[in-house]
Structure 1
Amino acid sequence: MSNLTADIQASILKAKNYVDALTINSSCNIPKEVVSDEHKFFSWDNEKRTPSVKPYLFDWSYYNGVVMEGLYDTYEALPDEGAEYKNYVLEYLNAMLVTDENGVHHLNRSLAGYVDHHGADCYKTAALVMKAFDENPAYAEVMAELYRDLTDPKHVNSKGDVIVEKYTEEALGENYWHCWAGGQPPKYKVWLDGIYMLQPFLAHYAAKIGDTKQLTIINERLNWVADVMLAPNGMYYHACNSREDVCAYHWTRAMGWYAMAMVDVMEVLPECYLEERKAALKLFADGMLKYQDESGLWANLADQPVTETNRLEVSGTAMMIYMLLKGVRKGWLNESYREPAIKAFNAIVNTKLHDNVLEDIYLKASANNTNNYEIPEYYLPDEGKGSGPFIMAYSEMLYL
């Protein structure tokens, strides 16, 4: 890091101390112990339920997955120094597996039994398995099963549904409904969140097996979002059913999920699609940078004034950092986009990270067009949906 300024070096070191304390040096967040005990939860899992017996939803979940994915990104950024991060992730993934009577490996359905019928969120952690694909032969069997769930028009899942037929629509650009529990559509079917939950996994697996048809469909899905969900102010709506029927809030984290989806998918798309994807990425980045606060952060509702209930928020800001830095590193955005990303990273570390606690991460906001985006009690410390993207942003800082 000798070529970096002192303030950037200090921010990276402070972030590393936080990441290590939360994960590899933690006395409570030990993957094998948490997964094996129905009474234990990762400390960043603020959506854990009561009673104390742990339901199947929580060990395999996107908010655990993004923390682990950030750690694996950190390992990939510095492989010679990051073995502890990789081993931590593999301990988590291996604890999720079971072997059936035929010797075939599956996700443990008592821990992940909802993945094929609950909704888009439940597949996000599959992208983590894709990253570690070559570390364990069992992962290939798990990936094939999850991919078949989402792409095979003849595959009937454990709930008797054919997902690719029942929960995608031509009118939605072949995008999946965000939720499908009970077979009933949500108020808004397509969420920006759901683009990130599904498309990076599908794209990376399709690229690995040479499924060019699926890669074309994925590009078309992203084009539909860029066409239908872009608002006149240059930002994106949280969710929609059509261009006219939208959840109008510009929630920074929702746009952040979409930002990360774009750059993660672009890694593996055929060259013939990259020019339109780069144009969409630049348009998105320019739209978001108009609303970056002078502090370097983004507000929870990005286009609204900063208040005690609409705070400068960590998770969405971290996602913007990841998108901007990765976009520059891959050559999809020019060098001028790096400076606002570094400013944002320093701002998180200097204003939101205190004594190894990452503050002001918003818990959740429903895409139902009612405003639950400004509930003070929803601003939490060390929440996985913010800690994970912050680790991803940190991993991109390491490439500097």
Structure 2
Amino acid sequence: MKFFLSKINFIALFLLTICTSCGNEKKTTGEEAVNTASQELIVPRDLKWSQRMMLSEMHRFPEASKLDFSDKPKWSYTNGLVLKAAQEVYEKTGKQKYYDYIYNFADTMVTDQGEIRTYDLEKQNLDMLNSGNVLLFLYPKTHKERFLKALKTLKSQIDTQPRTYDGGFWHKKRYTNQMWLDGLYMAEPFYAHYTQMFSEGEKARKAYNDVVHQFELIQQHALDPETGLLYHGWDASKEQKWANKETGTSPNFWSRAMGWYGMALVDVLDYLPEDFEGRQKLIGYLNQFADAIVKVQDDKTGLWWQVLDKGGKEGNYLEASGSSMFTYTLAKGVKKGYLPGKYIANAKKAYQGILNNLVTVDENGVVNLNQVCAVAGLGGDPYRDGTYEYYVNEKIRSNDPKGTGPFILASLQLDE
């Protein structure tokens, strides 16, 4: 009997030990699962959205020279756009990996002789100036002669850029007599920053006046007085099939075109001297711009439509790049004191709309920005006629740098 009871006690103790072990094992396994999950996160979820999207871009494009889904290294405006965002993230965080990402682009694309790979001066393409901002950031830090030589090459394009009869830069050599809103962002912040860095006295004043003149011409030729919105392009010759025969303007208000213009305004103001007479003129344009875009902001989502004044029309959609650009422009405009404080509510509503409707996060933490218009332009071959049907039928894709870059910039302005 004594043996029997001892056996029962042994079995009970054994079972209790097993149960206890099972409980511990389950707890340990659970903790390990959490640790494993966090180890598998490519992008940590506890960072601000600006870093989360920047790290996601660096994951998608480990080489900044291939940022725009390119198979080969390429000098293009999209690289400069995302790397401006990287620069601001670096300046905010001080983390070396962001600086290295920027530097590696320049190191790849500028040869030891100071030549820019894949860049062709003969094309006189304003788009190509935007990545020059990367070199303006790096040259004072590195003092590398090759970066200075590349900068001088880009400035030589400005000096030789074909112009309209009243002094406006053609968007590209092959787009004769045409100014596009896009071109103001591509050229003017670079032009103003280069001038601030390398020119002084009368030479600088003339250059700053030239920068402001480009905005004056867009306001003169592309502004719709009824809505305050700006048409995508203006043909000084009025010969293009897309051009209005009386005004020379293209027929629609494209979201991203106006987004480029708004960003151009707030960024150029970073480099114009405080006492320069043209500053107040640009601030006035910015206020007109802000008033016009908030009137076409979608009430429900806070976002903006691909074709701005035709919200809800069949085929139209809430577009990510324009929405991010407007958010950035409004937030920065208020932060810098150029715009009344009331516009911060519009910026915050738009930003929340982007998060609610256009941002998704993968299980590994990688952040995606969806519903970005891949590309849109005027003329060319095949011919782009600027009609409503043209804009709403261009390809839509996720994580286009023309959306992710402005999203990061907007996040930083709102400290998100």
TM-score normalised over the length of structure 1: 0.80
Cα distance, 1:198 vs. partner? 0.6
Which residue is 2:319 aligned to?
A: 313
Which residue is 2:378 aligned to?
A: 367
- 2:326–2:347: 8 Å Cα contact kept in structure 1? yes
Over residues 63-84 of structure 1, what are the superposed CA-to-partner deviations in whole Å (9 max), with x where a residue is unaligned?
12211111112223x143x432
Residue of 240, 243, 253 corresponding to 2:256:
253
- 1:235–1:288: 8 Å Cα contact kept in structure 2? yes
1:351 and 2:357 matched: yes
* Alignment map for 1:244-323 (pairs within 5 Å): 244-270=247-273, 271=275, 272-294=277-299, 295-306=301-312, 309-323=315-329
Cα distance, 1:309–1:135 mapped onto 2, change above 3 Å: farther
Cα distance, 1:145 vs. partner? 2.2
* Alignment map for 1:1-400 (pairs within 5 Å): 13-23=48-58, 26=59, 29-31=61-63, 35=65, 41-42=66-67, 45-46=68-69, 48=70, 54=72, 59-76=74-91, 78-80=92-94, 82-100=95-113, 105-107=114-116, 111-138=117-144, 139-151=147-159, 163-164=160-161, 167-171=162-166, 174-180=167-173, 184-186=174-176, 189-209=178-198, 210=200, 211-232=204-225, 233-242=227-236, 244-270=247-273, 271=275, 272-294=277-299, 295-306=301-312, 309-355=315-361, 356-368=367-379, 369-371=385-387, 372-375=390-393, 378-398=395-415
Cα distance, 1:250–1:323 mapped onto 2, change above 3 Å: same
Higher helix share: 2
- 2:258–2:322: 8 Å Cα contact kept in structure 1? yes
What number of residue pairs does the alignment pair up?
341
RMSD: 2.2
Runs ≥4 residues deviating over 6 A: none
Flag structure 1 segments of 5+ consecutive residues without an equivalent: 1-9, 36-40, 152-162
Cα distance, 1:214 vs. partner? 0.8
Residues in 2 aligned to 1:266 and 1:305: alpha-carbon distance in whole angstroms: 31
- 2:221–2:249: 8 Å Cα contact kept in structure 1? no
- 1:293–1:299: 8 Å Cα contact kept in structure 2? yes
Residues in 1 aligned to 2:284 and 2:124: alpha-carbon distance in whole angstroms: 34
Opposite residue 290 of structure 1, the aligned amino acid is: K
- 2:133–2:190: 8 Å Cα contact kept in structure 1? yes
Cα distance, 1:384 vs. partner? 1.4
Opposite residue 412 of structure 2, the aligned amino acid is: S
Stretch moving more, 350-359 or 141-150? 141-150
Residues in 2 aligned to 1:122 and 1:95: alpha-carbon distance in whole angstroms: 16
- 1:115–1:123: 8 Å Cα contact kept in structure 2? no
Flag structure 2 segments of 5+ consecutive residues without an equivalent: 1-44, 237-245, 362-366, 380-384
Cα distance, 1:349–1:133 mapped onto 2, change above 3 Å: farther
SS in 2 for 1:310: coil
Over residues 23-77 of structure 1, what are the superposed CA-to-partner deviations in whole Å (9 max), with x where a residue is unaligned?
1xx1x5222xx75xxxxx43xx24x4xxx7x4xxx6111112211111112223x
- 1:11–1:346: 8 Å Cα contact kept in structure 2? no
- 2:124–2:157: 8 Å Cα contact kept in structure 1? no
Identity score, percent: 27
Cα distance, 1:234 vs. partner? 0.8
Stretch moving more, 252-261 or 203-212? 203-212
**Higher Rg of the two aligned structures:** 2
Stretch moving more, 85-94 or 136-145? 136-145
- 1:11–1:349: 8 Å Cα contact kept in structure 2? no
SS in 1 for 2:102: helix
- 1:363–1:383: 8 Å Cα contact kept in structure 2? yes
TM-score normalised over the length of structure 2: 0.77
Cα distance, 1:308 vs. partner? 6.3
Residues in 1 aligned to 2:127 and 2:157: alpha-carbon distance in whole angstroms: 14
Residues in 2 aligned to 1:378 and 1:333: alpha-carbon distance in whole angstroms: 34
